[in-house]
Amino acid sequence: MEITPTKRQLYPDIACGFLIIHMVFGHITQHAGLWQGQQSLYTFWCSLIFFMMPWFFFKAGMFFREKPTLVEIKASAKRLLVPFALFSFLGACLEYAAKMSHEGFTTVGFIRDNLHALLMGGALESNPPLWFLFSLFFARIIFNILFKKLPDHIIAIIGFLAACAFMHAPLDLPHYFGNIPAGLFFLAAGHFLKDKQFKRPVLIAAIVTFIAIFASNNPQVDMRLHHVSSGLYFLWFPASLAGIVILDHIAKIRLLEKIRLQAIGKDSMTYYVLHWLVIVCVSIVVKRVLPDASTELKIALYTFACGIILPLTVFIRKRIKSCKHSETSR
């Protein structure tokens, strides 16, 4: 009996591609100085996509499969901690080379600052977006252990309560003490809602919830720093879930397949771990060659560089992988 392979659903890749582009451009504008006291339609748009990082935890939950604990640790370490370590090291080398000629720079101070950033924020200063890989690793391990004894919706409640407790803790705790349980909530929710999210009543509830909370409270949370900049923290959870459900529905629109966002989504890890380093490299060059460059010019240059280098890196990586596969199959 011939088994027909299951066709890969494109909507997670389309949603992922959209959010990766949103993230990269957000970091581009950050490096260009757009966030320094400026308000615009773009900043409003960013406030609307406040559920970006929760979506990535949610996606991890959608595709989660229970494994023996040691198997899960090894698999997650290979997939998450290896790129975390590699691109943290590359970022540190880049930052060291860029700062070593600065007045007052010392190697001891450089190591001290980066160790502090790692211990408190879960990532080095030289590539801060990598915090997600660090936190997702622990969220996956915790979920895998708890799922052997508890249903996913109970795990989500545990994550929610723990995250709220750490948010209001009187101690100055490392940021990942808060973002890991928050990530656990969204990971468990993704596992619970993977198929349920596409039922019409769930979509209607999501739309009503999103509009009501965003219009009345507008919760804005920096998930990495586990910091609330506006609104009520506990409302960020249902509002983010509502935004995630709405985005996943939008990503199912057939017309979006023609934009090829799914191509970026499939290779999201490459874009994620590399984009900050590309922006930093280009910003160093721009500061030396065009010290008086306007914010708009910087955004254009950084966007152009990311638009060329990141897809080219994906292409080269795939070619190398294809060549290795061809050699082993001979």
Distance in angstroms (rounded) separating the CA atoms of residues 319 and 249: 33
Measured CA distances, 82 to 74, 88, 108, 129 (Å): 11, 10, 25, 15
pLDDT at 3 over 60: no
Sorting pLDDT into bands at 50, 70 and 90, what band is 327?
Answer: low
Q: Which residue intervals of the chain are DSSP H helices? A: 11-32, 41-48, 52-62, 69-76, 82-99, 107-121, 131-146, 152-167, 176-193, 200-216, 233-251, 261-266, 268-289, 295-328
For residue 227, the cross-strand partners are 222
Residue with the bigger pLDDT between 136 and 319: it is 136
For residues 5-20, average pLDDT: 84
What is d(CA 132, CA 223) in angstroms, rounded to the nearest whole number?
9
pLDDT for residue 6 is more than 80: no
Domain ranges for the chain, please list them: 6-49+261-330, 53-252
pLDDT at 76 over 60: yes
Task: Kindly tell me if the per-residue pLDDT of 5 is higher than 50.
Answer: no
Would you say residue 205 has pLDDT above 90?
yes
Q: Please check the confidence at residue 75 and state whether its pLDDT lies above 70.
A: yes
Query: Could you tell me if 22 and 52 are in contact, meaning their C-beta atoms sit under 8 angstroms apart?
Result: yes
Strand, coil or helix: 85: helix
Q: How far is CA 61 from the centre of its chain?
A: 14
pLDDT at site 157: 97
pLDDT at 169: 83
- Whether residue 311 is predicted with pLDDT greater than 90 in this model: the reply is yes
Write out pLDDT tens, residues 133-145: 999 999 999 999 9
Best CA proximity match to 229, nearest among 30, 4, 50: 50
Q: Is the pLDDT of residue 16 over 90?
A: yes
- What is d(CA 142, CA 242) in angstroms, rounded to the nearest whole number? 24
Q: What is the pLDDT of residue 4?
A: 41
Angle between helices 233-251 and 152-167 (to 10 degrees): 130
* pLDDT of 39: 60
pTM score, two decimals?
0.92
Q: What is the pLDDT of residues 278-293, one digit of tens each?
A: 999 999 999 899 989 9
Averaged pLDDT for residues 220-248? 94
Helices (H), 104-232: 107-121, 131-146, 152-167, 176-193, 200-216
Please give the Cα distance from 67 to 75 (Å, whole number): 10
